[in-house]
Amino acid sequence: MTAAFRLSGPRPPEGAVRQEDLRDLNLKVVFQHILDAGRPISRTELATATGLTRPTITRIAEELLAGRLITEKGVTHNGRAGRPRVGLTLSDRGPAGLGLDIRADGLAACVVDLTGTVRHLTFAPMPPTGRDAEAVLGSLIRMGCEAIEAVTAKELTVVTATLAVPGPVDGGVVRIAPALGWRDVDAGTFLADLGVPCVVDNEANLAALGELYAGDDPLGSFLYVSGGLGIGAGIVLNGSLMRGARGWSGELGHVTVEPEGAACACGSRGCLETYASTGAILGALRGAPDRTDARDSAVPGEAGDAFERINPDSVITSRAEAADPAALVALDRAGSALGIALSGAVNVLDIDSVLLGGSFALLSSWLTDPVRAEIDRRVLTASWSPVTIRPTLLGPDAAVIGAALTSIDQIRRRPTTWLARQS
């Protein structure tokens, strides 16, 4: 008896391809070639590369030039005799993407143009009222409006804004962000005052995309893990972000490291966050004698200091740099717990690189060795293919740059949508 396997997945389009679909497809193909070239490319080269006729290339080039997606720049030589040709390349005076980020230590805004170049980057401290949602989002709107105004003067048009938040997001609603004390905050609706469409996304996912765009391997696979008041991860497999069934993947902070461990804010016990969040590391230092003379090494909470007024990362790093025994023990414990949680993810996902972001990037000098020891011990294939562990390329700006690049990526993928809006 033979079983019939039912094929699923997208069906091929029925009937003839419509003329306008074909025009859109050709435009996308030409634009993708210009995007991938990484240098000015001539109309003749485009005709050869795409198999389209020269008149078709000329028409599409005119359309892309009129829509400010490309510009004419320099000359190209094809290596043979003949006159040099004008090259076509991505425009740095067309559409742009805005990124906004809420960090443990403040707020950030960033604009990138179509070429992926950062054209504007600003930071601001948390509002005096702390992490109150209305105050934080109000400050971000002001920063976003200032960014839009600044780049409009440079002939750029901000198309979309993307906000990075430290927690799972459902539509524009931040379901829970323990680091901010937020629950069910409709950030998307609030940010409508920016005057451009706004997307809200998880900070670790956006930072992972930032690292993917910034790296030189567009088909890379890695796990980005961000430390801070909470711990999140962004999973990139073969160049694509793996969001999960509901977009909530990467909650590495709530992976169990010790089943009977300390109670976690999530209701479980022994989660990674109870060992390796900045709060957990500071908690281990609290009460331990400070063996350093650093003025800012007081642990928040010890003398009633407001958490907002002290940067927790600088407290930990200053004590670790002074070789304070309590700090070194706390970081070794945090690194081991992180390594145990990461080993599970690496075993399941077959990922060869772990990027340490957020606070983990700043603390990587102390965390890398214990993380590596646990991974080498627990990942089945580690002896054949060692896992790379390194700090992120973009450092603490990964999420805000990733957010801005995500905003502009929509134009890169769907240039016809932008062109339709221009006509």
Cβ-Cβ contacts under 8 Å for 44 (sequence gap 6 or more): 54, 78, 85
Q: Which is nearer to Zn ion, 231 or 403 (CB)?
A: 231
Largest CA distance in the chain: 80
Q: Rounded to the nearest whole angstrom, what is the least distance from the CB of residue 360 to Zn ion in the complex?
A: 17
Q: How far are the Cα atoms of 40, 48, 75, 199 from residue 86, in angstroms, in the given order?
A: 8, 16, 4, 38
Single out the segment in contact with Zn ion by CB under 5 A; choices: 32-40, 131-139, 260-268, 411-419. Answer: 260-268
Chain Cα centroid distance, residue 329:
31
Cβ-based nearer residue to Zn ion, 56 or 268: 268
Residue 140 interacting with Zn ion (CB under 5 A) = no
Residues in contact with 83: Cβ distance below 8 Å, sequence separation at least 6, in sequence order? none
Tell me the closest approach of the beta carbon of residue 237 to Zn ion, in angstroms: 25
Nearest distance in Å: CB 248, Zn ion: 14
In the complex, what is the shortest distance from the CB of residue 268 to Zn ion, in angstroms, rounded to a whole number? 5
254 touches Zn ion by CB under 5 A: yes
Tokens describing residue 284: 């281990």
Compute the distance between CA of residue 239 and CA of residue 299 in angstroms, rounded to an integer: 40
CB 50 within 8 A of CB 30: yes
Nearer to Zn ion, 157 or 268 (CB): 268
Nearest approach in angstroms of CB 176 to Zn ion is 11
Closer residue to Zn ion, CB minimum distance, 268 or 347:
268
- Residue with Cβ nearer Zn ion (15 or 267): 267
By CB under 5 A, which span of 24-32, 89-97, 270-278, 367-375 interacts with Zn ion?
Answer: 270-278
Contact region with Zn ion (CB under 5 A), list: 35-43, 66-74, 131-139, 250-258: 250-258
Considering only 266, 328, 382, 393, the residue that binds Zn ion (CB under 5 A) is: 266
- 268 lies in the site for Zn ion, by CB under 5 A: yes
State the nearest-atom distance from the C-beta of 267 to Zn ion, in Å. Answer: 7
Stretch that binds Zn ion, among 68-76, 86-94, 167-175, 262-270 (CB under 5 A): 262-270
For residue 149, CA distances in Å to 40, 111, 154, 406 come to 29, 11, 9, 20
Size of the site for Zn ion (CB under 5 A): 5
> Cα separation of 415 and 34, whole Å?
12
**Strands ordered across the beta sheet of 70-76:** 41-42, 85-90, 70-76
Out of 27, 111, 233, 264, the only residue in the binding site for Zn ion (CB under 5 A) is 264
Q: Confirm or reject binding of residue 52 to Zn ion (CB under 5 A).
A: no
Least Cα distance to 241 among 379, 371, 409, 117 occurs for 409
CB of 260 or CB of 293, closer to Zn ion: 260
Segment lying near Zn ion (by CB under 5 A), choices 8-16, 28-36, 190-198, 251-259: 251-259
Pairing of β 353-358 and β 240-241: unpaired
| 271 contacts Zn ion (rule: CB under 5 A) | yes
- Render 19-59 in DSSP notation, one character per residue: HHHHHHHHHHHHHHHHHHHSS-EEHHHHHHHH---HHHHHH
Stretch that binds Zn ion, among 72-80, 201-209, 252-260, 294-302 (CB under 5 A): 252-260
What is the closest distance, in whole angstroms, from the C-beta atom of residue 126 to Zn ion in the complex? 24
CA distance 93 to 132: 37
Rounded CA Rg of the chain: 25
CB 410 within 8 A of CB 159: yes
Cα 44–Cα 50–Cα 54 angle in degrees, nearest 5: 40
**How near is the Cβ of 255 to Zn ion at its closest, in Å?**
8
Nearer to Zn ion (CB atom), residue 176 or residue 200: 176
Which of the stretches 66-74, 129-137, 259-267, 288-296 binds Zn ion when contact is defined by CB under 5 A? 259-267
Q: Which residues bind Zn ion (CB under 5 A)?
A: 254, 264, 266, 268, 271
